[in-house]
Structure 1
């Protein structure tokens, strides 16, 4: 291992602030991206389900209108 102790590892040769800040920003961005993607997927699936039910109601209404005319 390149570091003599765990404290040296955390210190990163005097560059700990920059190293750990870059890790934090990277993982924060990834977490945000994953969260927003999951929320967007849920919205899209809900909209698709609403559209399908709306189309089914329209088909039923059209079918009922045709039956009542005959």
Structure 2
């Protein structure tokens, strides 16, 4: 479908509001999904680091207990 002007392109034969609204809602949903995924990834990385640190502390305590016993 060819458009004669930018107005015709934006108007989309009278359906422009619905077409652009659909694009906007889709873009918003994709943006929210990406942001949520990035935030979740960051939280999981932080939790993994904390868990590793805990395990290292526990291992050091066990070594200290064995050394004093």
| TM superposition score normalised by structure 1 | 0.96
Which secondary structure state, in structure 2, belongs to the residue aligned with residue 66 of structure 1?
A: helix
Could you say what the CA RMSD is over the residues aligned between the two structures, in angstroms?
Answer: 0.8
Structure 1 unaligned residues grouped into runs of 5+: none
Aligned residues: 69
Q: CA-to-partner distance for each residue in 1:10-68, whole Å, 9 max, x for gaps?
A: 11110011000000000000000000000000010000000000000000000001001
Structure 2 unaligned residues grouped into runs of 5+: none
Provide the rounded CA distance (Å) in 2 between the counterparts of 1:56 and 1:17. Answer: 58
| TM superposition score normalised by structure 2 | 0.97
Provide the rounded CA distance (Å) in 2 between the counterparts of 1:68 and 1:12. Answer: 81
